[in-house]
Amino acid sequence: MSESENRARFLAAYDEQLRTDAETPSAHKVTQHGPLRLVTFMKGRGFVTYRDLGGADKQTVRKLVAEAIAYFENEPGINRVEWKSRSHDHAPGLHEALLENGFAEDSPESIMVGEAQALSGHVALPDGVSLRQVFDEPDVRAMSAMQDEVFGEPASGEMADALLRRLSLDDGMQLWVAEAEGRIVSAGRLEPVPGTAFAGIWGGATLEEWRGRGIYRALTARRAQAALDMGKTLIHSDSTEYSRPILERYGLLKVSTTTPYRWARH
């Protein structure tokens, strides 16, 4: 099968299997509003997603955006909202409508999809570096703090709280870290998607001084092996420009882009 045929096959699987409840496993509440899924997460976070916009024209898109933000404005516990757009959607005027309603455009990420088998080969680690799965609260908090540092975000317990809650649900999510010199230097999570062929690899982060040594690649391979053990054959990820080339080298294909738009209550 050609690369273009694989790309079309992967994108179709992504749209069909992942743009459902599978996208929001830790949601507190999901409200369907026309084609939109208006999602409430813990800690005051709202999220908007959808499989498609049902062929909506520009006027309808503008109306949907206004109604979505009105919904969250009337939810006093919500203080910020992310609208997850995809570049392959038919969504005329969406960018303009989001900006008109107080959203700010964030950096686009590549939607990567590929065969788990292609990612799962053995990768040698540098001397003194080891991989392990983590479960306990101190490890999860150390992992989350390292990721905050890499992503340039203030140290926060919010993501750690969410991860610990997910672990308590025992829904198959796995957290993996690479350690060296007594500290976590790289980390990422694996999220098997129930009822689909997919597992997602998320949150990949490596401390700057440890990059370029194959650690992220080894961590990715280990997560792909775990996905195969669960019977998952496809891997997906929203990737930054740092991780995209690594995933491409091992057979994942960029099938589209996703751009988050963010709104904050004033």
- Rounded Cα distance between 140 and 33, Å, is 35
Report pLDDT for 54.
Answer: 93
**pLDDT tens readout for residues 155-203:** 788 889 989 988 998 989 999 999 999 999 999 999 999 999 999 999 8
Residue 254 has pLDDT above 80, yes or no: yes
39 CB-near residues (< 8 Å, 6+ apart): 24, 27, 29, 30, 31, 46, 47, 48, 49
- Between residues 112 and 203, which one has the greater pLDDT? 112
Mean pLDDT, range 32-52, rounded to an integer: 94
Query: Is 114-256 a CATH 1.10.1200.10 domain?
Result: no
Domain ranges of the chain: 3-110+259-264, 114-256
Say which CATH topology domain 3-110+259-264 has. Aminopeptidase (3.40.630)
Instruction: State the pLDDT at residue 51.
Output: 94
Q: What is the pLDDT of residues 79-105, one digit of tens each?
A: 999 999 999 999 999 999 999 999 999
Enumerate residues 6+ apart whose C-beta is below 8 A from 4.
none
Mean pLDDT for 136-143 is 96
- What does pLDDT average to over the chain? 94
Q: How much of the chain, in percent, has pLDDT values that exceed 90?
A: 81
Tell me if 3-110+259-264 shares its fold with 114-256: yes
